[in-house]
Amino acid sequence: MKKHNMMRVASALAVVTLLSTSVISGTLAKYTSEATSQAESARVAKWAINAGSKNGTLQAISEAGSNSFTFDLFNTVKDTATGGGSETDISANDDTTIIAPGTWGYVDLVIENDSEVSAKYSIKLEKTSEDTVPLQYAMKKLDESAAAEDTVPTNITSDPKDPTKVEWTSTAANVKIDENDNRILNYKSSDTATGNKVTYRVYWKWDYGTNTTASENSDTSLGVTAATGTAATPTVKATVTATQVD
């Protein structure tokens, strides 16, 4: 009986030894390697859109809290009789800008993409005043490589295939470049980048006898009211929108 028990113990020890050997040998037989990659990163692309009048300082409309820019539409007042000469037959009694029948002018609106991504843009005008001054408006893209004509344009014609020109209209809201026209400004790749800036000349004019919806003395009535009451003050603003190209 004692011998039988000893054989059982010996058998159990043999089994335990075999199991331990199997576990140890199995662990030692596995190939294991581990490595960690180098840390990689990417910088967020810059988004910087500037707008404003050509002769002024462009303002970053893309910065937080900056949603306006200079648009001096009536800063230039010229004489329709001389075509491109400055108007010398009117003069304000104060520092305000004044207009009268027979005058015209323009402002050069500049949009610049200083971003690291391409952008498409849109432009729209809006008359925000309630008045009956019979102004007309037009717009065309300027050739950056050529000197712009400093005369009142008479041959601007709208072309559905070329949205960079808007013919004369009495409705300011019709003067626009729609975002769906896909006018693209390149990203700025260097200090000598090209294609990242565009200039549009926005015109206004007050021709003699263009107010066909009022009496023939309506222009005179506007002047009399300016002298005896509250002068009409046409007010026009421009909105520029830029969106990253998909």
| Average pLDDT of the residues in 160-168 | 80
pLDDT tens, position by position, 182-194:
899 999 877 766 7
Report pLDDT for 32. 92
pLDDT tens, position by position, 32-68:
999 999 999 999 999 999 999 987 789 999 877 667 8
Task: Share the mean pLDDT of the chain.
Answer: 83
The answer to whether 215 and 84 have CB atoms below 8 angstroms apart is no
SS (H, E, C) the chain: CHHHHHHHHHHHHHHHHHHHHHHHHHHHCCCCCCCCCCCCCCCCCCCCEEEEECCCCCEECCCCCCCCCCCCCCCCCEECCCCCCECCCCCCCCCCCCCCCCEEEEEEEEEEECCCCCEEEEEEEEECCCCCCCCEEEEEECCCCCCCCCCCCCCCCCECCECCEEEEECCHHHCEECHHHCEEECCCCCCCCCCCEEEEEEEEEECCCCCCCCCCCHHHHHHHHHHHCCCCCCCEEEEEEEEECC
Higher pLDDT, 66 or 217: 217
Neighbours of 77 (CB within 10 A): 18
Radius of gyration of the chain (CA): 37
Q: Is the pLDDT of residue 86 over 80?
A: no
Please state the pTM of the whole predicted model: 0.79
Tell me which residue has tokens 């391409």: 118
Report pLDDT for 145. 64
Dist CA 151 CA 136 (whole Å): 16
Task: Count CA within 13 A, CB hemisphere, residue 174.
Answer: 13
Report pLDDT for 192. 63
Which residues face 124 on adjacent strands?
176, 239
Determine what percent of the chain is predicted with pLDDT higher than 90: 49
